[in-house]
Structure 1
Amino acid sequence: MTILNLLRSNLKLNRLTGLPFNIFERVPSAYMATYEKYAQHKELEKIRNIGISAHIDSGKTTLTERILYYTGRIDKMHEVKGKDNVGATMDSMELERQRGITIQSAATYTVWKDYNINIIDTPGHVDFTVEVERALRVLDGAVLVLCAVGGVQSQTLTVNRQMKRYNVPCLAFINKLDRMGANPARVLSQMRAKLKHNAAFIQLPIGLENETKGLIDLVANKAVYFDGEYGDVVRTDEIPKDMRAEADAKRQELIEHLSNVDDTIGELFLNESGITEKDLISAIRRTCLKRTFTPVLVGTALKNKGVQPLLDAVLSYLPNPGEVENVALREKKGEEPETVILNPARDGQDSFVGLAFKLEAGRFGQLTYFRCYQGKLVKGDNIFNKRSGKKIRTSRLVRLHANQMEDVNEVYAGDIFALFGVDCASGDTFVTNPQLDLSMESMFIPDPVVSMSIQPADSKHRDNFSKAVARFTKEDPTFQFHYDTDNKETIVSGMGELHLEIYAQRMEREYSCPVILGKPKVAFRETLVGPCEFDYLHKKQSGGAGQYARVIGIMEPLPPHANTTLEFVDETVGTNVPKQFVPGVERGFRTMAQKGLLSGHKLAGIKFRLIDGGHHIVDSSELAFMLAACGAVKEVFQNGVWQILEPIMAVEVTAPEEFQGALISQISKRHGIITGTDGIEGWFTLYAEVPLNEMFGYIGELRSSTQGKGEYTMEYSRYSPCMPEVQQEIIRQYEQSLGINQEQKSKKN
């Protein structure tokens, strides 16, 4: 290392760590001293748990890499698709580095201005949406990254919904100011229109594209520049004269947006009192925590501008674990569950309560990621799984930095950590005192939308194939596996083609088990077109106790917004159907709903109304009523009018303007409905709703027709009736798979 580089490294670490400057001191010792600070037991106010979430290719992983560099966590930056073949720190999986995408969410920790920050970098692709769900379930705040050119895209809407579901406060960071066509003002208007955020700039860029020099801090009323080889020297200056009027106007706009949702700042605004920097910071923090205002920051992570002010904003505006209300449920037999607010204090006085939010196969067995919500956990303590009741001894506690681990002796409320050798499911609650009887709400898991047949390329790899499937289905609840007895093939289901393709590649790399994936199968559903009455008697006498049950009622379709659910309603009056047999009727209905008789797909969007029936004093049983309900569904299948529902995807295609006509034609051929278009700087975005069944193989067609420049994303929107010819083809294929041809059917009739 040259004297100049040594000086530069020492200066950087001196600034980050507050250690005495020594030109002869080697970098690693100063670096280690920073992380001794992290190991110290910090008070609650000095902790932040944040996630980095966004649409694909908005710069999440690059931003996380810069955060780790500026906080001294890593001593060299690498790119997501770097020429040095290293790749970003948080993309530790070989597949991630090759493809340049994030597949698994990765956790790390760092220190900024004596605050401990736990960070989870999440994937942007819709196929890995469960990774974002897991992260947002356990985080206190988030940074929503938006591309200055792309703006609010399809996955941005999904991430925004997930933040709303878990009530996570967020900052918005408009990244990629250096890209051609960058337009932060347009992105802000999209946030207000599409995401319905009460948002305003708290920073303005000084120059765009190649002219990006720095930014204006509207709260402090100053210009900020990023000097040094890697933008690691933050220098403040006066606001440039040519931007003074714009800065004043935007600061006024910020105050107006805040005064709409915050009484304190509103009163100062109405009284025309001078609003200070401190007033603004307090108001932004209050409203951000309530999710009534979203502060918008700007920068370019790739060109090392705007990252340090973003870190300052995380400390200033996002909540510490004590400012978020986390609750657990205490269940009592025969009573409504009691809601218990967990105590986030880090004094270790309360019993430990933690949530397992992610499972991963580590080098030393199953690695389980936890968030501690109450109390403290010490190495060697016994913990209990509230779902299974199993007792587990914590032999090893670790903190995570991507795929690296650091052993710790204890963790406190607000910490994110991991344990080895814990046999559990994602979303399980763990406690040290089982008498507390507390359980935390698990996370939302979306249903898979794509299925494919899968088999090992060579039968000698069956053992490895079984191990791989067992591991991946346990780690990822959206990756599901079953054996289809009708078609005699193994089926895997997931969130998209890429999702299943990635797991197939991982089986080959990690388990030396090449697999063959069949044609994708869509998760169709069967439903009724109109109400249909049933009156079914199940009677069986074979000597001794027989079976007798009669069910009378109506099966009817649910409204379109509920066409993915099933409902069972008991409307019986009197004792014709004894109440102890009603669960048997429901079980029979739900059993039959697993496989429809039209095409073999699940039933959905149906309401089963049990109105009356009959029973025998000796021969009736729950089993008899279950079989009667099965017979009633078959009767309705014969008498009712059925249709097949298919998943409709919200598709967003982006390509150069000259290909607009060709792409509209492609979407129309695939029976898509175009819902809107958008254009900027020679590029256009097409929004459409297309049946998932028509989207297979679209990426090849798109790229060949746009010279490789087009890209698309899609996410599940809703279920809708499929076209008559599609329905006939699905039924024909199902009948073929059962070996029923038209001749046999006519003979049967």
Structure 2
Amino acid sequence: MTTTPYPPELLRDVEKRRTFAIISHPDAGKTTLTEKLLLFGGAIQLAGTVKARKSARHATSDWMEVEKQRGISVTSSVMQFEYQGHTINLLDTPGHEDFSEDTYRVLTAVDAAVMVIDAAKGVEVQTIKLLNVCRLRNTPIITFVNKMDREVRDPFELMAEIEDVLKISCAPVTWPIGMGKTFRGVYHLLQDQVLSFVPGEEKRSHAGIIKGIANPELDQRFPLEIRQLRDDVELIEGASPPFDLDAFLAGQQSPVFFGSGINNFGVQEILQSLIDWAPPPQARDATARMVQPAEPAFTGFVFKIQANMDPKHRDRIAFFRICSGRYSAGMKVRHVRAGRDMKLANVLTFMANERVIMDDGVAGDIVGIHNHGQLQIGDTLTEGESLSFKGIPYFSPEMFRVARLRDPLKSKQLQKGLQELGEEGAIQVFELEGGQMLLGAVGVLQFEIVAQRLKDEYKVDAIFESADIHTARWLSYPDELTRRNFEYEQAMRMGKDIDGNPVYLASSRYNLAVTAEKWPQVTFHATREHGQVLS
């Protein structure tokens, strides 16, 4: 008699998890799709839409005041809901490229992704970057071609562009009938049925489904579009590869759906595909070994820190991906980096900015742990085993600014605010000789957001001035003597990052090259992994 190596109840619960992120270029409709998935999943009763700044409603996933004002997502949101007997963990990510590091971190915590493409614009710069990050882990990708209710590009042209630019095979699952004012719906190739489009319909009724592409009813309903649809389908069946589940799970093929998120059309098919095809939680590389999701021992890692989600309570939440075992309220775990035990009390699950105390969680679930500075991005928690889950690195910033106070009496508030925002990953913070704080970012918008958050959340009015710095490099030394000699000679160019790691701040590309040539025994790192300690 054979027995399963894992607890049957735990195995069953893990199999019911689906954890995915939504990725796109800004304005492709990612946050709107997030809202509509929540609507179809029954998690919310009324979808908020991203409107003008005076609008009373905003996207449910955009909880930060600055997001409501600007109509963009600048943080990652986590939302959990039940659908068809499955637990869905949905992560909405920033679309703006200036917040790409936050998105990269989130993509380490998911098992699949939905890529949203604007049907009028096609593949855009940020989409390319995000897909390349997904490709590092062979993350399965579902493609949603959005905004078909507008005048858009030819669908065959869009498919060819996705394949050529993103280097991923496309398998159309639904195909559009018309576009813009003549958008009539989609044909589902796998189910051989037409799903007719009615603008603004919250949830499609069965009356809108017509079985069979040869059905004479189609000729009556869509006399101007049906011939084109039949020609397109014949071409697809002859030229495009059919959907292959194994190729999808390997990250080599993407099933493609067409629709209109703002009109709720095509959303249900995306949700169903996640249930039917997206993988449950997978094994994770924990350096020492691969951790299986249904192992009884609890493990997981912190992939994000968020300060002040609730400004009234000045809280800080560590977003934690459970990788194995089962969470239970009040359990004790080992904080591997710190080498000490900690109790997990009042762990949260999220519905955007709504919080619920969590009593039970398994691999795939994203939970929030109240954090008073003890947890950092990349930290691993286990039930005793010394593991370290591999993460996405910090990248050397492309822009640098020095923070200056308008009110010198608020230096402590500034230091605290920058410390917390740095630990959160909103911006990179380096401490210079004499305690001066230097900020590093990917783009200008990061500085604007940090300035606004300092003002709103910490009551600190600061201005950011340009710094004479070209790039930053993390340092590691072969021995203590080399470290002392290098840091003595280069004292004016030295700083420390938020975790206390030594950083060389080069004034130019030439300055970096000359210093590296003079000190061949010192290693200059353009990246470092979260939680990695350099010496």
TM-score between both structures, scaled by the size of structure 2:
0.82
Q: 2:82 aligns with which of 89, 111, 119?
A: 111
Q: 2:49 aligns with which of 79, 82, 88?
A: 79
- Give the Cα separation in 2 of the matches to 1:160 and 1:72: 29
Q: 1:51 to 1:236 in 2, by over 3 A?
A: same
Q: Which residue of 2 aligns with 1:425?
A: 376
Q: 1:117 to 1:606 in 2, by over 3 A?
A: farther
Q: Which residue of 1 aligns with 2:250?
A: 290
Q: 1:606 to 1:376 in 2, by over 3 A?
A: farther
Q: Which residue of 1 aligns with 2:221?
A: none
- 1:588-599 equivalences in 2 (<5 Å): 588=485, 595=493
Instruction: Answer yes or no: is the 8 Å Cα contact 1:123–1:131 preserved in 2.
Output: yes
Amino acid at match of 1:236: I
Question: Alignment partner of 1:96: what SS?
Answer: helix
Amino acid at match of 1:369: F
Q: Which residue of 1 aligns with 2:398?
A: 449
Instruction: Answer yes or no: is the 8 Å Cα contact 1:566–1:607 preserved in 2.
Output: no
Q: 1:566 to 1:285 in 2, by over 3 A?
A: same
Offset at residue 179 of structure 1 (A):
2.6
Matched, 1:299 2:259: yes
- Give the Cα separation in 2 of the matches to 1:402 and 1:113: 21
Q: 1:355 aligns with which of 279, 301, 305?
A: 301
Offset at residue 105 of structure 1 (A):
0.4
Q: Spell out, residue by residue over 1:629-677, the C-alpha distance to the aligned partner (whole angstroms, 9 max, x if none).
A: 77x99xxxxxxxxxxxxx9xxxxxxxxxxxxxxxxxxxxxxxxxxxxxx
Instruction: Answer yes or no: is the 8 Å Cα contact 2:396–2:471 preserved in 1.
Output: no
- Give the Cα separation in 1 of the matches to 2:49 and 2:349: 24
Amino acid at match of 1:445: Y
Q: 1:605 to 1:114 in 2, by over 3 A?
A: farther
- Give the Cα separation in 2 of the matches to 1:188 and 1:521: 44
Question: Alignment partner of 1:441: what SS?
Answer: coil
- Give the Cα separation in 2 of the matches to 1:305 and 1:209: 13
Offset at residue 152 of structure 1 (A):
1.0
Matched, 1:136 2:107: yes
Q: Which residue of 2 aligns with 1:68?
A: 38
- Give the Cα separation in 1 of the matches to 2:487 and 2:135: 32
Offset at residue 501 of structure 1 (A):
0.8
Offset at residue 418 of structure 1 (A):
1.2
Q: Which residue of 2 aligns with 1:329?
A: 287
Q: 1:293 to 1:457 in 2, by over 3 A?
A: same
- Give the Cα separation in 1 of the matches to 2:34 and 2:505: 50
Q: 1:490 to 1:359 in 2, by over 3 A?
A: closer
Moved more, 64-73 or 407-416: 407-416
- Give the Cα separation in 2 of the matches to 1:584 and 1:154: 45
Question: Alignment partner of 1:179: what SS?
Answer: coil
Offset at residue 286 of structure 1 (A):
1.2
Identity across aligned pairs (percent)?
26
Q: 2:276 aligns with which of 306, 310, 316?
A: 316
Q: Spell out, residue by residue over 1:166-208, the C-alpha distance to the aligned partner (whole angstroms, 9 max, x if none).
A: 3211111111112333433322222111111112322111111
Matched, 1:501 2:441: no
Q: 1:391 aligns with which of 333, 341, 357?
A: 341
Amino acid at match of 1:290: A
- Give the Cα separation in 2 of the matches to 1:489 and 1:86: 40
Moved more, 114-123 or 593-602: 593-602
Instruction: Answer yes or no: is the 8 Å Cα contact 1:484–1:490 preserved in 2.
Output: no
Offset at residue 432 of structure 1 (A):
1.8
Q: 1:121 to 1:598 in 2, by over 3 A?
A: closer
Offset at residue 318 of structure 1 (A):
1.4
Offset at residue 46 of structure 1 (A):
2.0
- Aligned length in residues: 481
If you compute each CA radius of gyration, which structure gives the higher value, 1 or 2?
1
Question: Alignment partner of 2:287: what SS?
Answer: strand
Q: Spell out, residue by residue over 1:463-517, the C-alpha distance to the aligned partner (whole angstroms, 9 max, x if none).
A: 32222111101101742233366xx964321111110111001111112211122
Question: Alignment partner of 1:437: what SS?
Answer: coil
The alignment's C-alpha RMSD in Å is: 3.0
Q: 1:591 to 1:177 in 2, by over 3 A?
A: farther
Question: Alignment partner of 2:37: what SS?
Answer: helix
- 1:505-544 equivalences in 2 (<5 Å): 505-518=452-465, 520-521=466-467, 523-524=469-470
Q: 1:196 aligns with which of 138, 154, 167?
A: 167
Instruction: Answer yes or no: is the 8 Å Cα contact 1:566–1:604 preserved in 2.
Output: no
Offset at residue 584 of structure 1 (A):
3.6
Offset at residue 312 of structure 1 (A):
1.2
Q: 2:22 aligns with which of 41, 52, 75?
A: 52
Instruction: Answer yes or no: is the 8 Å Cα contact 2:470–2:505 preserved in 1.
Output: no
Amino acid at match of 2:304: K
Deviant stretches of 4+, over 6 Å: 564-568, 596-599, 606-609
- Give the Cα separation in 2 of the matches to 1:153 and 1:174: 13
Q: 1:92 to 1:385 in 2, by over 3 A?
A: same
- Give the Cα separation in 2 of the matches to 1:506 and 1:101: 15
Larger helix proportion of the pair: 1
Amino acid at match of 1:112: Y
Question: Alignment partner of 1:470: what SS?
Answer: helix
Structure 2: unaligned runs, 5 residues or longer: 1-9, 219-225, 495-503, 527-535
- Give the Cα separation in 2 of the matches to 1:209 and 1:220: 25
Question: Alignment partner of 1:50: what SS?
Answer: strand
- 1:275-286 equivalences in 2 (<5 Å): 280=243, 284-286=244-246
